Amino acid sequence: MISTNRRALLDTPISEFIISSEKVAHVQVGNSAEHALLVLTKTGYSSVPVLDTKYRLHGLLSTKMITESILGLERIEYEKLANIKVDDVMDRGVTYLKITDTFQKALDLVINHAFLCVVDHEGTFVGILTRRVILKQLKKYIYSVD
Ligand code: AMP
């Protein structure tokens, strides 16, 4: 009985747990690093997805990536921010999930990632899956079995 429930959880499609794209803060390729820093600071998120106008996923951008790009030898060169583009500093090697992936795959990946971007069969960004959501589901499961 217990193992059946466990299998059911592991096989659950991640689509049930996604924070949908319209609720996800993002920046666009071509945006300046200055704009991106504003978005990151105001939302309080450590990193956000980088999308194009067709909502295709290009990478992830964090405050650290921006700060590192303006680190001079003795000072932070804030005046450079307006001339640096998101594309120049983002991480393109993003680990992502497909909408058809299961809870089991997400569980493996959230060990190393606070959140994962999710794309559909055409590569369009549909939302994110966070470690917090996965842990909540896991907690629910653990407390439900005796
Ligand atoms: P949380 O599970 O809320 O602690 O989120 C973990 C990380 O996921 C945050 O630091 C962000 O990088 C990302 N994140 C969570 N929710 C959002 C959102 N609505 N928009 C953009 N990024 C998000």
With CA atoms as reference, report the closest residue to 117 among 106, 108, 129, 105. 129
Residues 6 or more apart whose CB falls under 8 angstroms from that of 23 comprise 127
From the list 54, 1, 46, the residue with the least C-alpha distance to 25 is 46
d(CA 21, CA 127): 4
Q: Please give the pLDDT value at position 93.
A: 96
Confidence of residue 3 (pLDDT cuts 50, 70, 90): low
> 1 pLDDT exceeds 70?
no
Kindly state if the Cβ of 42 falls inside 6 Å of ligand 1.
no
d(CA 27, CA 59): 10
Of residues 7, 10, 90, the one with CA closest to residue 50: 90
Would you state the structure tokens that stand for residue 51, as one six-digit string? 């999308």
Residue 128: CATH number of its domain:
3.10.580.10
Q: How far is the CA of 130 from the centre of ligand 1 (A)?
A: 7
In this prediction, residue 108 carries a pLDDT of 98
47 lines ligand 1 (CB under 6 A): yes
Number of folded domains that form the chain: 1
pLDDT in tens, 31-61: 999 999 999 999 999 999 999 999 999 999 9
pTM: 0.93
| Domain hosting residue 118, numbered range | 4-144
Å from CA of 112 to ligand 1 middle: 15
- Is residue 100 over pLDDT 60? yes
